[in-house]
A and B are shown apart, each in its own frame.
Chain A
Amino acid sequence: DAGITQSPRYKITETGRQVTLMCHQTWSHSYMFWYRQDLGHGLRLIYYSAAADITDKGEVPDGYVVSRSKTENFPLTLESATRSQTSVYFCASSALAGGNEQFFGPGTRLTVL
């Protein structure tokens, strides 16, 4: 199906483990974004990418790594998960420079025990 998808939708892991959240979009959008959503904080930008092989830090990048070898994929890796990274993670994409018209994926709920 066309659109933006995230996998897995739910993940439980343990402190110290590496976790990778996947994001895939079929629109060939240039811009992709990763956000985390926590109660009391709304959505906070972790990393974004303007094109393949171009990534940049957002508001809360510590503890996360991203890559963008292909335009359609933008995986987010927690190299050593911590309890504070328990959150709902949203991926978004946009075709426009600056990405005003952002389209969000359904989210991944991550729990770190």
Chain B
Amino acid sequence: GQQLNQSPQSMFIQEGEDVSMNCTSSSIFNTWLWYKQDPGEGPVLLIALYKAGELTSNGRLTAQFGITRKDSFLNISASIPSDVGIYFCAGRVGNQFYFGTGTSLTVIP
């Protein structure tokens, strides 16, 4: 299957700091998605990107669809304690979605 490399695997940051994580693939995707998963729950969609080069914001979150269509990044500005969780990237080809292995974010108050 498709391989999505997500980094970093984990992050420990102070409240108020900005966060950046990225996802790369050897394959081209038509759509990039970013999800957040809280413990014991299913992933929740944060941002969807549909075109190469697209930059989209959702509150304190900003994500970009890489020009090569093989990568994407997610930034979180001014982190708060409720940002804690696991963040997943996902790429879409046709009707199939491929997920990264996740970035675990811990925010220290």
Contacts and interface: CB of A to CB of B under 8 A. Distances in A.
B4 A42 contact: yes
Interface string A86-99: 00001010000011
Interface residues of A, number: 27
Interface string B21-64: 00000000001010000001111110010100000000000000
Contacts of A56: 95
A45 interface: yes
Contact of A42 (B33, B41, B48, B88): B88
B92 interface: yes
Contact of B95 (A40, A48, A60, A106): A48
B45 A106 contact: no
B1 interface: yes
Interface string B80-96: 00000000101010111
A31 interface: yes
Contacts of B4: 42
Contacts of A58: 96
Contact of A106 (B1, B31, B41, B94): B41
Contacts of A35: 99
B1 A42 contact: no
Nearest to A102: B45
A50 B94 CA distance: 12
B101 A106 contact: no
A102 to B, nearest CB: 7
B96 A106 contact: no
Interface of B: 1-2, 4, 6, 31, 33, 40-45, 48, 50, 88, 90, 92, 94-102
8 contacts: A43-B97, A98-B92, A98-B94, A101-B48, A102-B45, A104-B44, A107-B41, A107-B42
